[in-house]
Structure 1
Amino acid sequence: MPTPVALQTREEIAVVPAGGAEAPCCVPAHGQDTLAATEAEALASRFKALADPNRLRILSIVSSSPEAETCVCDLSEPLGLGQPTVSHHLKIMVEAGLLNREKRGVWAYYSLVPGALDSLAATLAPKD
C-alpha cells in the first residue's frame, strides 16, 4: 500500500511579499563582463559566417596554407564548388571580419584577419 503524502495547508506555506526580507534566489549579472547589444550583434555576425560547413573548410584551407594566404583560384576544386559559390562564401567571411582580401592582377588572395579567431574564442572562454 502506498505511503500517504502530507499536504501543506495555506498557513504552512511561507508567502514572501514583494520586496520582502528574503534574499533573491540569484543575483543578476550586470557587470563589465556582459556583452553590449552592438557587440553581441557583431559577434553573432561572425559566428553566423562560420556556421556553414563550406566556410569552415575555406577557413581551414586558408589557415593551413604555408604562405598564410590562398588564391581564390585554389578553392573551387578542394571544396567541389563553382567559382561563384566560393566567391559568395568568401564575401560573407570578409564582411564578417574573418578574412582579408587582396587583389593582385585578376586574382584575389585571402588571408586570416590577425586575431579574429582569438577574439571569437575569448568570448566563449569563462571569465575568471
Structure 2
Amino acid sequence: MTSVHDLSQAFKALSNPNRLQMYLELLQQRQTVVESGPACERCCGLTELMTKLNVGAPTVSHHVKELVNARLIRVERQGKYLTCYLNEDMRAALEGFFAKAK
C-alpha cells in the first residue's frame, strides 16, 4: 500500500523537468516493450538517457538517485552499465491516484 508520504515524494521528484522527462522516457520504453514484446523488459540505459536529455553523466546520476529514492524506478548494474526499470507498484499507485481525481 502506497502512503500519502510516498506519493508526495514521487510528486516532489517528478517536479524537476529532467526527472520528469527521464520518467516519461521509461514509461515510453515500457509502452514500446509491451507492444513489441519483451526486448528489454521495460528498461532504459543511462547512456540512452544522457543522449536523449543532452546532459552529462553526473547530472543523470543525480536525477536517477532522486527517482530511486522516491521509489519511482529501480536500477540494476549489468557489467559496467546501469539500467533503469520502472517501479511498477509506484506506477500503479500514481495511476490510481489520478483515476480517483477524475
Which TM-score band (shorter chain)?
A: 0.7 to 0.9
Q: Percent identity?
A: 30
Q: What's the RMSD between the two structures over aligned residues?
A: 1.9
Higher helix content, 1 or 2: 2
Matches within 5 A, 1:53-92: 53-65=17-29, 66=33, 67=40, 68-92=42-66
Contact 1:71 1:110 in 2 (8 A): yes
Matches within 5 A, 1:29-44: 39-44=3-8
- C-alpha distance in structure 2 between counterparts of 1:56 and 1:82, whole Å: 17
**TM-score when scaled to structure 1?**
0.63
Runs of 4+ residues deviating >4 angstroms: none
Q: Unpaired segments of 5 or more residues in structure 2?
A: 34-39
Q: 1:71 to 1:126 in 2, by over 3 A?
A: closer
Q: Unpaired segments of 5 or more residues in structure 1?
A: 1-38
Deviation at 1:56, TM superposition (A): 1.4
**TM-score when scaled to structure 2?**
0.77
> For residue 45 of structure 1, what is the amino acid of its counterpart?
Q
> For residue 8 of structure 2, what is the amino acid of its counterpart?
A
- For CA contacts below 8 A with separation 6 or more, give which structure has more relative contact order: 2
Aligned residues: 90
